[in-house]
Amino acid sequence: MFEAVLLIRIMEFFNNSIDNSSDLFSFYLENPNYLSISSSDHRSETL
């Protein structure tokens, strides 16, 4: 259920910011590991 709500929020975000969504989507396509890398770095800094 939470995943569905989160997906809806993301879709609403993209629909409300179409100009920025293409840039963000292309950035994620070019850097598919960005989120995982940043989250792992954050965990290492926290520890």
Give the model's pLDDT for residue 43. Answer: 53
At residue 2, φ and ψ (nearest 5 deg) are -60, -40
Between CA 6 and CA 2 the distance in angstroms is 6
Give the model's pLDDT for residue 26. Answer: 76
Amino acid at 29: L
Give the model's pLDDT for residue 30. Answer: 77
Per-residue model confidence as pLDDT tens digits over 1-47: 678 888 888 888 777 665 655 676 777 777 766 656 555 555 555 55
